[in-house]
A and B are shown apart, each in its own frame.
Chain A
Amino acid sequence: DARVTQTPRDKVTEMGQEVTMRCQPILGHNTVFWYRQTMMQGLELLAYFRNRAPLDDSGMPKDRFSAEMPDATLATLKIQPSEPRDSAVYFCASAWDSNEQFFGPGTRLTVL
């Protein structure tokens, strides 16, 4: 049963703390996307990787956000320091090249 997995599913933290979200893409997919979803902004693309190399991270606040792919089976999104305005649901999606994207269940982040 191939699917994208994300951990944690829920995270509540205090302002200023570091947050790390993890994603395991579907085995064999070479492209990984990070999205943020809020009521106000909808789905926003933060960054994406192909073959573990970052292709576009223009949607990501560079001062506090960082995204990496330590290996082909793991993508991470880190926020340091976190702020209340970062509260949102963060989705990871994977694909083979520019084909259909498959989404994970998301990480619901609440920053107090």
Chain B
Amino acid sequence: GQQLNQSPQSMFIQEGEDVSMNCTSSSIFNTWLWYKQDPGEGPVLLIALYKAGELTSNGRLTAQFGITRKDSFLNISASIPSDVGIYFCAGLGDNFNKFYFGSGTKLNVKP
């Protein structure tokens, strides 16, 4: 099956810093999604990307669909304590039927 590599696995940053995380794959994906999961809750959709090269923002979050269609990036600017959580990427495989999830990036923000 198609595999997603998400990095970094975890990050410890100071409040106010910018954050960047990414997902890569050896296969082409047709859609990229980015989710955030708070403790004890289900993942919540942050951003959806549909075209190679697409750059989409949602407040302080910006995500990009890589030109090669094999990667995607999520950036968080001016981090705040409530950004703490686990961020997942998901890519829609070539069968257009199911999404493959990355292993998550655990973000810790120190006030």
> How many chain B residues touch the partner (CB < 8 A)?
20
Residue of B nearest to A105 (CB): B42
Instruction: Tell which of A42, A45, A102, A104 touches B98, judged by Cβ atoms closer than 8 Å.
Output: A45
Q: Interface 1/0s, chain A 38-80, versus B by CB < 8 A? A: 0000110100100000011000000000000000000000000
Contact A42 B97 (CB under 8 A): no
Residues of chain B contacted by A1 (CB below 8 angstroms): none
Nearest CB in chain B: distance from A38 CB, A: 12
Would A100 and B45 count as touching, CB distance under 8 A? yes
Shortest Cβ distance from B42 into chain A, in angstroms? 4
Q: Which of B11-19, B58-66, B71-79, B99-107 contacts A (4 or more CB under 8 A)?
A: B99-107
Is A101 a contact partner of B97 (Cβ separation < 8 A)? no
Q: Counting CB contacts under 8 A, is B31 at the interface?
A: yes
| Interchain CA distance A105-B39 in the complex, whole Å | 10
Among B40, B42, B98, B103, contact of A103 (Cβ-Cβ < 8 Å): B42
- Do the beta carbons of A106 and B99 come within 8 Å of each other? no
Q: How far apart are B52's CB and chain A's nearest CB, in angstroms?
A: 17
* B31: A residues at CB distance < 8 A: 98
| Given A45-B98, A48-B98, also A104-B42 (CB < 8 A) | yes
Q: Is B92 an interface residue (CB 8 A)?
A: yes
A91-B103 in contact (CB<8A): no
Q: Is the CB of A98 within 8 A of B92?
A: yes
Residues of A within 8 A of B (CB): 4, 33, 42-43, 45, 48, 55-56, 91, 93, 98, 100-106
